[in-house]
Amino acid sequence: MLVANGARVAITGRDAEKLNRAAPEIGAHAIQADVSREADVLRTMQEALQRFGELDILINNAGLGRFRPLVELDLAEFEWTFATNVTGAFLMAREAAKHFISRKQGTIVNIGSTASLRGAPNGTAYYASKFALRGMTECWRGELRKHNIRVCLVNPSEVITNFGAAAGFTQKDNGTKLRPGDIAHAVKAVLEMEDRGFIPELTVFATNPVD
């Protein structure tokens, strides 16, 4: 959607095959990277700036999760979730913010979740990571507004993607539930506002979802 509206976009992913298949389909530049690895993040920013010459927008969209009862959740799963959802977002935002501060402009959009608004059974790792992302968003907003940098949080409710299968649960698909394009529309709306104003937080629900 952003490419279709004139943006030059770079996307990242850990799986080179999937990444290199997706990028030409949408007209984006592919950068193979794992956002939880600092060296990968530094290389990503360097490559993006070399290709485009500047950076206006960062969208922190990498996310994963495991959903287990507290007593069954092991440390590796917990840390794995935080590595991408929290540490990855921090690393990407830190490097983008350095560039934005030097230019006195820029926008960071963090893709959160309605999981950041309340807890739920079996959600220790994922829900806590989204609470943390929401907290970091508020901290960055407080720091960066004086540099004319907008920091926004978009909270989707359930969206039909492959997230559920990767996280180990089955989603019930039907036409009333959100699709990725709905969240893209919300992000586009956030970005299109004139820089004199910004939307700090936007939550997106399906109007009348059927389980």
Catalytic residue among 116, 127, 129, 130: 130
Helical ranges in 2-82 per DSSP H = 16-26, 38-52, 75-82
Helix, strand, or coil (residue 204)? strand
Helical ranges in 27-108 per DSSP H = 38-52, 75-82, 89-103
Q: For 146-203, give the DSSP string.
A: GGTEEEEEEEE--B-SSHHHHHT------TTSB-HHHHHHHHHHHHHS-TT---SEEE
Phi first, then psi, for residue 104 (nearest 5°) are 60, 35
| Residue 113 annotated to the active site | yes
Helix, strand, or coil (residue 7)? coil
| CA 136 and chain centroid, separation | 13
Catalytic residue among 36, 113, 116, 129: 113
| Residue 127 annotated to the active site | no
Catalytic residue among 116, 126, 127, 129: 126
| Residue 129 annotated to the active site | no
Q: Which residues are catalytic?
A: 113, 126, 130
